[in-house]
Amino acid sequence: MRGEQREAERERAQARARAQESDRELEGWDGDTAARAEMLAEAGDWWKQAGELETAAERYRAAAEIDEAEGEGEWGSCWAWLAEVLFLLDREDEAQAALARAEAAAHWDTDGFQYQVLGEVMAELGRDEQAHAYFTAALMTAVPNQNNIALEDFTGPTTLARDALLSRSAVRGRLGWPPDSLDRMARDLEAEPSGPPMS
């Protein structure tokens, strides 16, 4: 137990050092705003890993506001990540407001990525019913022919549809819900070999 605690402390210290390095880069940054937003989001990730949630929230909010104003980047993701840390800080009203901004961005999504991020955030928070709704939305956005979904829809070069299907199935399992046709498809997909056979 003590070894695990020391390891966790070491990882937080490393994350804090990376977060401080990111902040120093931001102080001297004079490049384009889209890149600055990306750097802010990365700094938010490091501050969150360091356990400094208030600072992480500040960085995510700044990134989201820049990208939303510019109409660039995956700004819905930044609102979702902000919502996550605000929920962890028990700032429910602010978290719900950030979540609403992330949902608004997801409505313009064309490949399901924004819904997938929302699902992952809710799953991380243990809000599996909300996660299920978002993963289902990601799946329905990622798969164009919703009236005739087949296993082949999840075996192409892109992995988003596959991720959404498997994530949805996982939360349904945690919720104790009976398997549906998509769960059975997820089981078949997991049973398939991940690559060509070894020679």
Share of the chain above pLDDT 70, in %: 92
- pTM here? 0.87
Joined tokens for residue 113: 């990525």
Going along the chain from its start, the domains and CATH numbers come out as: 1-99 (1.25.40), 109-193 (no CATH)
- pLDDT tens figures, 61-96: 999 999 888 765 566 899 999 999 999 999 999 999
- pLDDT tens figures, 150-176: 777 787 666 889 999 999 999 999 999
Our CA dihedral for 172, 178, 182, 186, rounded to 10 degrees, sits at 70
Other CB atoms closer than 10 Å to residue 167's CB: what's the count? 22
Mean pLDDT of 8-32: 90
Which residue is it, tokens 């945690």?
Answer: 174
